[in-house]
Amino acid sequence: MDYAVIRLQGQQFKVAKGDQILVGKLSDKKVDPEVLMTSKSGSVVLGKPVIAKNTVKLKVLEEEEKGDKLYVRKFRSKSRYRKTLGFRARYSRLQVESI
């Protein structure tokens, strides 16, 4: 199985051809990941710290996608203080075209 480990926006992902990943919302459509490691037909190439030649191609499927709603509740006893806040993270969905 061919796969690669890439770093994008400070996060590392193990990806294979055809995989879809969710990353934080991209400010532009250009996606240029840093390739840390590749494995093709059993041979492993490690970067020190990155592989100079960019070998992973990513395609933007969705520019903006909303994540699950997270609720934050604040409460202080004996003071009638209750507060509820909601938050939905914005993501971009990427697909791996080639390694």
Of the candidates 72, 91, 93, 98, the residue with the CA atom closest to the CA atom of residue 83:
72
pLDDT exceeds cutoff 80 at 26: yes
pLDDT of residue 29 exceeding 90, the answer is no
Q: How many whole angstroms separate alpha carbon 23 and alpha carbon 63?
A: 10
Residues contacting 52, CB < 8 A, separation 6+: none
Q: Where are the domains of the chain?
A: 3-98
Residue 65 pLDDT: 92
Record the pTM.
0.79
Q: Which residues contact 89 (CB under 8 A, 6 or more apart)?
A: 24, 66, 67, 70
Integer Cα distance of 10 and 24 in angstroms? 10
Give the pLDDT band (50/70/90) at residue 42: confident
